[in-house]
Amino acid sequence: MIFTVGEESRGQRLDVFLASAADISRSAAEKHIAAGMVLLNGKQATKKSVVNVGDEVSYDAPEPVECKAVAQNIPLDVVYEDSDIIVINKPVGMVVHPAAGNPDGTLVNALLAHCGSSLSGVGGELRPGIVHRIDKDTSGLIAVAKNDASHIALSAQLKDKTMSRVYFAIVRGNIKDDSGRIDKPIGRSLKDRKKMAIMPDGREAATRYYVVERYEGWTLLRLELETGRTHQIRVHMSSVGHSLMGDAVYSSANSPFENKHKALIPGQILHAAELRLVHPKTGEEMSFSADLPDNFKKIIEILRGSSNNK
């Protein structure tokens, strides 16, 4: 792959540019640069090398490796499926792919049982078919590629923002404006490597939000992603003082409401409700939706009752 540096990337470190251009993690970009798989204007460079407008970055991407995750017969809520893609409504509590601490019981394990060998290998041995992810405690829609051509096409849609994703969330406090846009770069936190944070040299990240309902001390939001960074909604909303209900990572101590209704709040109250994409083979524009999970609906019901009684 050869990428030409545009004006928007002027002055970026090479690892930052490659991660964004190739749609890979920063750690993967660093690893591949160190392994000599990346050239800057035909010459070896380091992750700290700075790119300028017009530079050419050559990336010898590693070949997909055979998937080695184990198939497990785990029920799936299949919203749509054909020979190229499958769209799943992921439940709260399910991890998307195997990783440290979650070797099995994941969406990938379930997909391997459901699809057999019909999953793309671009994502590697532990992430077959996975084009984008949602957090363990986030519910909702996720598109999966069943072959390499579909994976590449869907990844391109994520990058050029033709794939649209809409979420619903309940956040702390009452947001002043009925709508707005948060445009703050996100990168790995320097204080806690397990967290993301607003970072001046982070990757571009933008989220639009729209108020759906207001309650006593809480707000129901509709959120549209312009980019797809790790923990993007959680980090952005926390950065403006409106962290997500149930988010133990990006908010302070639990509120009285969260303590009272722990059974309904297993984690952040966030749901991927709408997904729009272009079919990688037919070119058809497709839209999918997933209803709010029962716990989310119940929380809204309680909040409405509390607000109406004030």
Cα–Cα distance measured from residue 77 to residue 272, given in angstroms and rounded to the nearest whole number: 14
Cα–Cα distance measured from residue 32 to residue 15, given in angstroms and rounded to the nearest whole number: 9
| Radius of gyration, CA atoms only, the chain | 20
DSSP-derived pairing of the beta strands 218-225 and 85-90: unpaired
Residue from 15, 55, 84, 135 carrying the catalytic annotation: 135
Cα–Cα distance measured from residue 106 to residue 99, given in angstroms and rounded to the nearest whole number: 9
Residues in Cβ contact with 294 at an 8 Å cutoff, skipping those fewer than 6 apart: none
Q: Is 135 a catalytic residue?
A: yes
Contact assessment for residue 222 and residue 178, using Cβ atoms and an 8 Å cutoff: no
Question: Catalytic residue numbers?
Answer: 135
